[in-house]
Structure 1
């Protein structure tokens, strides 16, 4: 594997780890702190998603990941958060 591929894989892996960290943060917040309708919940979620999108854009602009890979990361996180929100509100 070339150094470039190693760096690209590391960038992709780190973005996925950051997405997983956001999911865990929201799970903890929903379990222990607030309801999905709470402005604090929405603020944390919006801030985290904005930050991750900026990370994805940065990595894509540097050519570390493909734009489609970035979209895939964001879409996966959005789907997981949607499932989590639905499960929490349907309890």
Structure 2
């Protein structure tokens, strides 16, 4: 059985976080982010899955708690920023329609 290096484990977690970021970015230009509850459920499920992967890597001792929490924290910050951008764009569009 091959062992996995801490660097490889962290890289895998970072790739998974990037995949979730891309999922959101690909929907940013559509109305789905702001109007589709199913999309929110997908994102929540993806985030939960990543958090479980991080917890598992931490328990195995191949990723430190700080590294794992940083991956999740960075992703949550980026997702919040994307959601805020969509909210601001939607709000600006609604104001523009009223004028």
Tell me if TM exceeds 0.5: yes
TM-score by length of 2: 0.81
Q: More deviation in 37-46 or 11-20?
A: 37-46
The equivalent of 1:42 in structure 2 is 40
Superposed CA RMSD: 1.8
Following the alignment from structure 2 to structure 1, what is the Cα–Cα distance between the partners of residues 7 and 31?
35
The equivalent of 2:73 in structure 1 is 75
Following the alignment from structure 1 to structure 2, what is the Cα–Cα distance between the partners of residues 77 and 11?
17
Gaps of 5+ in 2: 90-99
Aligned pair count? 88
Which of 1 and 2 has greater Rg? 2
CA contact (8 A) 1:29 1:41 kept: no
TM-score by length of 1: 0.87
The equivalent of 2:21 in structure 1 is 23
